[in-house]
Structures are given as structure tokens and as C-alpha cells.
Structure 1
Amino acid sequence: MNFKKEIDFVHISKYFYTVSIILTIVGIICLSVFGLNFGVDFRAGSNVDITLSKSLTQNEVQPILKKIGIDEGTSITPGEKRMNIRFTEVLNEEHDHQLRAEIQKLDSTASFEVNTVDTEMAKELGKNAIYAVLLSCIGIIIYVSIRFEWRFALAAILSLIHDAFLVVTVFSVFRLEVDLIFITAVLTIIGYSINDTIVIFDRIRENLRFAKLKTNEDLVVLVNKSVNQMLKRSIYTALTVFIAALFLYLFGGESIKMFSFAMVIGLVFGAYSTIFIASPFWFFLKSKEKNKKIGKTS
């Protein structure tokens, strides 16, 4: 990939900001209307993972649940020699034994893994997940402010919130399950995105040391030059991790499928925000400072 002509990221960023604002508004509407499809980790209920010697269909299992009397609000997700059954209520011991017995009539070698979360535990897990994301963002603000300056920190956090929110929006629109694995994916995306952003910010700071900035146009040239210098590195790094995550999604097990999918879309948003959101926003903040200084000296 050979970029012979430098791209003017600062001036074209307004188009990407428009796209991001539209996506954010759509996301807010979707979250308000649909909410999130919380997994058993964040709401009371039981989750039953069944390992089978042959594949069973939903039509074969649904009558069993109806017979036992536990089909209300139940979702069945069949897979290759696997099946997941999620109950919105905690599965009691009697129903657990009946379910195992009925499934084993269809497949005698079936093995079961039952995860149960009560109401209090679900609330606690939900709060801890929010705290984990907030603390990571606060830690990033402190780290970037110390290593660089507060403008870099604000630009980095805007980029990270943008990435995390759009991933959440995708999961809301397509009604994908949000569980602790999803939170792990979001934190991983935040970690990857801040690393990519820091690399470009480091180049901006390095170029800033030797630059003689007299006008905003000089600052535009500096930001564009810095991003263009690191563009190939950002794209190649994102592409490498993206391919790995994509193959994990396509060929990995059911247990990591949603993690891999969140990583795939998060990597795309992360590369996009690093290049088109973070650096231009830092330019916006820095140009405001320069304009104030010019106003004082004039």
C-alpha cells in the first residue's frame, strides 16, 4: 500500500464527524426503543449449555420444555453438536432433573453445564461491569494527561466512547446477547484503540517539538503529516488483528463467537476513530488555544 499523496484528514474530518453523529443518534434511538438483550449474567435466570453427540433442532427440544412446563420466555440456540437453552427464571432442582432426563432420551451421551444467576447477583454484576468501563476510562484520562496533555486525553476518551458506544449499538440493533464476555470484548477494544491512538499522538507530539506554528494552517499541516506518517502502520496493525478476530468468529467455538464478533466490529470502529476522530478533535482543541493567544497579542 503506497500513499504517494498526503490525505488532508483535518479538512475531511467534518464528513466523518457528521457520519459519527448520525450513527450516535441512531444508536441512542435504538437503545431507547430496543434496549439491550442482556444475557443471564445481567438478569436473573438459568443458562444451560448442552454438549451432544449429534445435532438437535429447536423443534425437537421445544416440546420437551412444554411438557415439563418451563417453555415460558425460553430461548433455544442450536449449534453443531451443541445447544444453549436460556431461561428467564431460575431453574429449580426438579425441572433440572426432568430436563436432563428428557434430553438424554434423545441423546444418551448429552452432558450439561448449568449457570444460574439470582436477582441480586445479576444487579451486582451489572454495576461491576459499568464500574470496570468507567474506571478504565478514568485511568486512560489520567495516563494520557500525564504523558501528553489534557487535550490529547479528551480526544482519546472521545474516540474510545465513540468505539464502545457503536459496538453497543450494533448489539442492540441485532439483538445480540450482552454478557460478561461482551464486557471483556469492550474493554479489549478500548485497550487496543487507546494503543493505536497513542501511537499517532506520540508522532504529533514529536513533530510538535520541531514545528514553528504561526497560523492554524501550520497546525493543519502538522496533524495531517503526523497521521499520514502513521497511517500505514495503523491500517496494517488493525488489519492483522481484524483477520485473526474474523477467523475466530468464523471457525471458533460458540463460547467465544460473540466475543470475536464484538472484536471484529470494534477493530473497524477503533481504526476509523483513531484516524478520523481523535487527531482532528485534538486539532480543534489546540486551534482554539492558538486563536486565544493570537487574540491576546493583537
Structure 2
Amino acid sequence: LAKAQGLALEETSQLSGLFKLEGTEGTGMDAGVRSVRKFTKVRVHTVAAVSESDLEAALTTMKQHLDESPLFDEVNTFASAVARQMQIRAIMAILVSMLAITGYIWLRFQSVTFGLAAVAALVHDVLIVLGMVAAVSALNGTSIGNLLQVNDFKINLSMVAAFLTIVGYSLNDTIVVFDRIRETRGKNPMITTNMVNDSLNQTLSRTLLTSLTTFIVVIILYFFGGEGIHGFAFCLTVGILVGTYSSIYVASPVLVWLMNRDNKTAAA
């Protein structure tokens, strides 16, 4: 008993020493006013326990309130409308550019046949690139797709810009070839395959070197340019190859066919 009383007295003295600590009275604007006080009382605040029935009643009331007046009155989906609008604008931009190109070549070469042949090659380029964008989506996630870094590309504004860039690049090569054909033709009303072959041989080195240097740039952009321009660089990579091919093997044969057909029709 004496030992227990000694322990109680020791704990009481320790608590008394704790409650005699000096503190600072006042907070906020009055925190600078200091006064020495003795802590004589200790107050402990506890949160009252909530019974399960009260909690269930509160949740039921809240659920009824949300059912009667939901947070969102309506949901509007505008993604399809925006995509449709962008699609229409992209098609209009490509059509207007091709009409402008036809008019320019018509004035440049004094014949609408040159313009139609050039536009036929440009349509070929755009359709081939668009088809490649759709075709590589099947390789997405495969080992070949991972090696080539192809994704499930979506048509966006940057890819539309790539299509227009391809149109301009392919047109530049086509005009160079057509200009040499016009010089070789002279005043001859007909365009023969020998004329076209000689003109292509004279411009072939220039076409291949220009395409090679441009292809090196776009292939670096494709592999190291980042996700933001990945689709743009893919379209340009395919477009450079297709545009070089079409200026030689599409535009020139179409020009020969159209010119000879018109001359035969006029002669008849």
C-alpha cells in the first residue's frame, strides 16, 4: 500500500509540474500581448458518436434529394458535330486548292489539259496517302507496327495540313516535268511518248535528288519528332514517295492521253 501511495504522489507531482508551465495568452491580433498564467484546467473535446440508424437516415435523405433535383440537368455531346464540321472544311480546302491549281496551270501553259492532268496526279496522291493512313491502323499493336512506330492515326487539322503540303510538293515536281515537255514539244500540236520520255530523262536527276533530301528530313521528323506531329510526319513521308512517283508515272501519261484525245476529236 505504501509503495502504491508513493507512485501516486510521484505522478501527481509530475502532472502538477506540467500544469505549471508558462504560456502566452491571446491569439491573432492580440498574440503580442504576453502574460504569465498557470495552466490549472485541461479540457478535452470529443466528437459525439453517430448511430447507424441516424447515418442511414441521412444517406437516404441525401439520395432522395439528389433524385429529385439531379446535379446535371442535361448532357450535350458535340464531338460528332465538330468532327463533321472539320471534315467538311478539310474537303472544301482540298477542292478549292485543286481548282486554284487548275486555273494557275491553265494560265501558265495556255491549255486546260495540263491543269487536268496535274489535278489527276494530285487526286491520286491524296487518295493513296489517305488509304495508307487507314491501312496502317491494322498494324497498330503488332510487332511490325511497333517497329515502324505506326499508330491508329486520326484525321486532324495537322494531317489536313500535311495533305495540302503534299499537294504543293507534288505539284512542284509536276510543273517542272510539264515545263520541260512544253519546251521539247515546241510548236508541235501533238505530244508523243518520245517527247515525254526525253523530258523525263532530262528532269529525272533533279526530281530524285530533291525527293531524297526532302524524304530524309521527313523520316527524321517521323521517328524523332514526337507524338504531336507523328501523324503529320507519316503523311509527309508517304506523300513524298507517292508524289515523286505520280509526277513521273501518272501526270505525264494522263497528259499524253488527254492531249492526243483532244487533237483527234478536233481533227474529226
TM-score (ref. length: structure 2): 0.62
Indicate yes or no: 2:130 matched with 1:162: no
Larger helix share, 1 or 2:
2
Alignment partner of 1:262 out of 232, 235, 241: 235
Alignment partner of 1:282 out of 225, 249, 255: 255
Alignment partner of 1:228 out of 201, 210, 215: 201
Q: Offset at 1:194?
A: 0.5
- Matched pairs, number: 177
Q: Deviations over 1:103-149 (max 9, x none)?
A: xxxxxxxxxxxxx9644333222211111111111111111111111
Task: Write the letter of the residue equivalent to 1:159.
Answer: A
Indicate yes or no: 2:164 matched with 1:187: yes
Q: Deviations over 1:51-103 (max 9, x none)?
A: xxxxxxxxxxxxxxxxxxxxxxxxxxxxxxxxxxxxxxxxxx9xxxxxxxxxx
TM-score (ref. length: structure 1): 0.56
How many Å separate the matches in 1 of 2:192 and 2:182? 12
Q: 1:227 to 1:171 in 2, by over 3 A?
A: same
Q: How does 1:115-264 map to 2 (within 5 A)?
A: 118-148=79-109, 149-175=111-137, 176-209=153-186, 212=188, 219-264=192-237
Task: Write the letter of the residue equivalent to 2:95.
Answer: L
Larger strand share, 1 or 2:
1
Q: Offset at 1:192?
A: 0.3
Q: 3-state SS of the aligned residue for 1:225?
A: helix
How many Å separate the matches in 2 of 1:124 and 1:251? 32
Task: Write the letter of the residue equivalent to 1:271.
Answer: T
Can you give the 5+ residue segments of structure 2 that lack an aligned partner in the other structure?
Answer: 1-71, 138-152
Task: Write the letter of the residue equivalent to 2:213.
Answer: T
Can you give the 5+ residue segments of structure 1 that lack an aligned partner in the other structure?
Answer: 1-92, 94-115
Query: Which structure is richer in relative contact order (CA contacts within 8 A, separation 6 or more)?
Result: 1
Query: What is the root-mean-square deviation in Å for CA atoms of aligned residues?
Result: 2.1
Structure with max Cα Rg: 2
Q: Deviations over 1:138-192 (max 9, x none)?
A: 1111111111111111110110000000000011112222211111110000010
